[in-house]
Structure 1
Amino acid sequence: MMNIGFSRKKDKPAMHSPEALVKHYVAYSAKFLGFTEVDQPKGTDVVRVAVRKLKFQRHIKKSEGEKVPKVELQISIHGVKILDPKTKDVQHNCQLHRMSFCADDKTDKRIFAYICTEPDTKRHLCYVFDSEKCAEEITIAIGQAFELAYKMFLQSGGKDVESRKQIGNLQKRIQDLEMENTKLKKQLQCLEDQLISAQSSPAVSIPVKTTSTDVFDMLPFTPGSSTPRIQMCNGNWNFPWPPPVDRGTDLFGAVPFDPFTCGLLDFPPDVQSKLDEMQEGFKMGLTLEGAIFSLEHVDSRC
């Protein structure tokens, strides 16, 4: 049976249209209790400990007069963004393939949490929210976005990478042609300089034509000779190539795009690692659960 990317224990219909999650996003208001590191990417017990820890911390801060910050959650196939509701500054951005667990509290319809893995440190972080009795709806929306993102990854992920590969190959070809053009221009300029120099020299300095030259006043080809020669074949000039030039920009004045440095048939390490990470994340799946996070309510209305 193919893993479609997410599972949930609650038999609920989709809350939002696919178009809303694919082309736009759905937004929710919530209070952000914070996030904390956990030792596992999945598990109700793991989330329960994190929720109780953060609720207790917020209880302490509330007693000191500090309010719980309000945030806006934007859910789409690109991930879950946590923004400041006024400035719209992005505080956190959790991509869906890095999310492994999402759950809402059956005893408190306001609390929900999800676990996301950091790309650099590989730490598992649990984010906890108070959502004005929308916890279950938000959980299902995240699960729906995950499923859509996984399907789109399977359908177009390989095509997108192949397109980038073709662009890289074309760019490399353009660079090669431009390099050849630069070399030809230099050789042509060199010949023009030699011709001007010869025409401006005194007549007595022009060597007398001897039988050792051909009809084009050029020395005949001698095997083993170390003297560089310019030969004409089928009307095309073949010049000795100068050493490669180190170019910082392409013919458009931009830094050349050359991500495929490991060969034409291989994906570059950065793209390949990204694909592997996404494949591994989606393959793990996103588990949705309704659970009881806290047996003893510290402060259910943070």
Structure 2
Amino acid sequence: MDSLFSDTDLFSLLFPALIFLYVGQLCVKSNSKADLWSKRIASFLFVLMIGVEILTGDVIDPYQFGGTVTTALVVAGMALGLCWILLPILFSLYEQTIGAGVERLRSFLRKRRERLQEKKLEQERKRSQKEREAELRRRKPEQEQQQQEAERRKQYQEDQQRRREEVRLQCQLLYDQHALELRDKLKPERLEAYFHEYLSDQYSAEMVEKRGELLKEMIAQSLGREPNGQTNFNSLQEIALYFREQRIEIEKLEYDPITLQTIQASLSAQEEGLIRAFLSRNH
């Protein structure tokens, strides 16, 4: 069987193909999309012509097949040139008509999806907000109770600390008032050891108060006091001399003004009490 393209006048196709290619190249310069599709169409046409020749021929003649390939190249070139000329026009018309409508439809659908997504997110946010508010309302009584309990614990701890510090202050003031007499019987280092070991913050205020009373009794016994806490004096002169020595000794200890004033007031109260007790015993 003769080739399907054996009678084709190759030169009659070559000249139009060159013209189409030249003009088409000028038309497709700024349209890469049209250029791509033109090359695809021309390549498909070339492969199609070769395939038809192979499938319809009984025996493949190399010389005849070479002519077929050449003819297919020329036809594909002509098709490429025509596509370069026509496709930019068709694409431009498409973009201004159907393409514009499709783009508007896509834009509408995209915006609609965005609105739906925003609406969904807003609903989710409101739902989460309502759940948080409901949880806060549910936990509010519990939180208030916990806050009140924490406040009570804080007040209790502050009261405990205040009572412990008060005991240590009383013991320290008592010792400082009689520092001269206790100098050889109870060293300051020993008193500090008592504070650290038995009157520290690790013990409850009740225990510190009990131990503080024991420490004050020990100090009173070291001073030779009677059970009522008063020292034995034989005259008013001894009382005055005793407290004068105490004031002189305390002034040497260089307390701050507030502490010094407190100690002096305590000494004055004790001196007055001892004078009254002495007078009541001797009248």
TM range (shorter): under 0.3
Larger RCO, structure (CA 8 Å, separation 6 or more): 1
More helix by share: 2
Structure holding more strand per residue: 1
Q: Which protein is bigger by CA-based radius of gyration?
A: 2
- Normalised by the length of structure 2, the TM-score is 0.24
Question: TM-score under structure 1 normalisation?
Answer: 0.23
